[in-house]
Amino acid sequence: MSRWSLPPSAIPTAWFNVIPHLTSPLQPPLHPGTREPVGPDDLAPLFPMALIGQEVSTDPWIDIPGEVLDILRLWRPTPLVRATRLEKALGTPARIYFKDESVSPSGSHKTNTAVAQAFYNKQEGIARLTTETGAGQWGTALSFACSQFDLDLKVYMVRTSYEQKPYRRIAIETWGGEVVPSPVDDPNNPGSLGSAISDAVRDCVSRDDTHYSLGSVLNHVLLHQTVIGLEAKEQLEQAGERLPDVVIAPCGGGSNLGGITFPFVPEKDVRLLAVEPVSCPTLTQGTFDYDFGDVAGTTPLLPMYTLGHDFMPPSIHAGGLRYHGDAPLVSQLVRDGRMEAVAYPQGKVFEAAVQFTRTEGKIPAPETSHAIRAAIDEALAAKETGEEKVILFNFSGHGFLDLAAYDDYNNGRLPEEQG
């Protein structure tokens, strides 16, 4: 069988919590001023209590509310696809599967947590959310989710993207969200994710009816993404396939990676592989230390692999992978040797993306293409050894709003040294 998906009843009804499966205790976030562990009261101006509870929960499973499931059902379960045409082109004995998260309304996995976050805020009586967005993937996902729960949304979008990449801004506005370029007080400043976070948080704390929402890095975000791995595990089993030898995902802040890999953490023989750009090599070149989540140094200190909160990665097409840190949960699994990491330069990534497009048909997001590069290399290694390896990777999003990047690649305008 080359393609299948599960009946709608197979959508998971609980999220998988990886915290009880860690081999060393998770270090708490620290207050930036006192360096004491942050408590619920410190976070209450920003997040609803339900999410603050999920941040520290040690329950092995956390029920998905029915209202959230009803919305996830619009596109879940997502297809698990066997990439037989890619396998054939590679001449590999490996079996390659991908989990297609690009079928969500906003075109990426980010919608999975956006819906859950909007729900818990609505339930706590919040009327309005603020957030930041770089190229706009997170802003579009949250705008869709807010439309479902009748919440107002204000998105602070990095000014260069706001001006140069209008399509996601238009999508956010079409779902009903408001978008402003950031930094708001300096129209000549191109902006950065760090300054957009500062704008969104400042707006949030100035109003009682408003909370702030983050699309990656935090424990509750990765928790909400575990529907990806749970479905994939069951879909492989239903197809009569064994457990994968390796599970692969691109890593920016770590949310889609955590989502597909965490349900496989208890399976000791399954390798877990994070893929990042060489231009922002957080897991492969960074150090494990407490660091700020933003450039300005105002957020709590998180225990994570980091390149330093003032690290400015060069502009690459995989905007979603340009973050100086990584989720503490992912960082800890890498530090403890349970997860591996690899970095690729941009040219090699696009080469893989185009090979995928010309065999499997779908045009992947540049972020997603990092996982495709690694999956292809795993399959080519299996060809050398003749091993019938089973490879699973996350197709985190489509590339239809990133076609300018493909234009650069197709016309030789992608400098390899850019990473």
Ligand X SMILES: *Cc1c(COP(=O)(O)O)cnc(C)c1O
Q: Provide the binding-site residues for ligand X, judged by CB under 6 A.
A: 108, 110, 137, 216, 250-257, 320-321, 365, 367-368, 396-397
183 upstream amide cis, omega within 30 of 0? yes
How many other CB atoms are found less than 10 A from the CB of residue 169? 22
In whole angstroms, the minimum distance from the beta carbon of 321 to ligand X comes to 6
Could you give the CA distance from residue 4 to residue 372 in angstroms, rounded to a whole number? 20
What Å distances lie between residue 130 and 24, 143, 179, CA to CA?
A: 34, 10, 10
How many other CB atoms are found less than 10 A from the CB of residue 150? 10
Cβ closer to ligand X: 92 or 112? 112
From the list 268, 262, 227, the residue with the least C-alpha distance to 80 is 227
In whole angstroms, the minimum distance from the beta carbon of 222 to ligand X comes to 8
**Which residue's beta carbon is nearest to the bound ligand X?**
397
- For residue 16, what are its two tokens? 């998988």
Cβ closer to ligand X: 154 or 317? 317
In whole angstroms, the minimum distance from the beta carbon of 68 to ligand X comes to 19
Cβ closer to ligand X: 195 or 369? 369
Cβ closer to ligand X: 331 or 396? 396
- For residue 326, what are its two tokens? 């990584």
Cβ closer to ligand X: 55 or 126? 55
- For residue 215, what are its two tokens? 């699309």
Could you give the CA distance from residue 128 to residue 306 in angstroms, rounded to a whole number? 32
In whole angstroms, the minimum distance from the beta carbon of 128 to ligand X comes to 23
Cβ closer to ligand X: 126 or 365? 365
| Ramachandran bin of 394, using left for φ above 0, alpha for ψ from -120 to 50, beta for the remaining angles | beta
What Å distances lie between residue 259 and 26, 39, 364, 394, CA to CA?
A: 18, 26, 18, 9
In whole angstroms, the minimum distance from the beta carbon of 397 to ligand X comes to 3
In whole angstroms, the minimum distance from the beta carbon of 215 to ligand X comes to 7
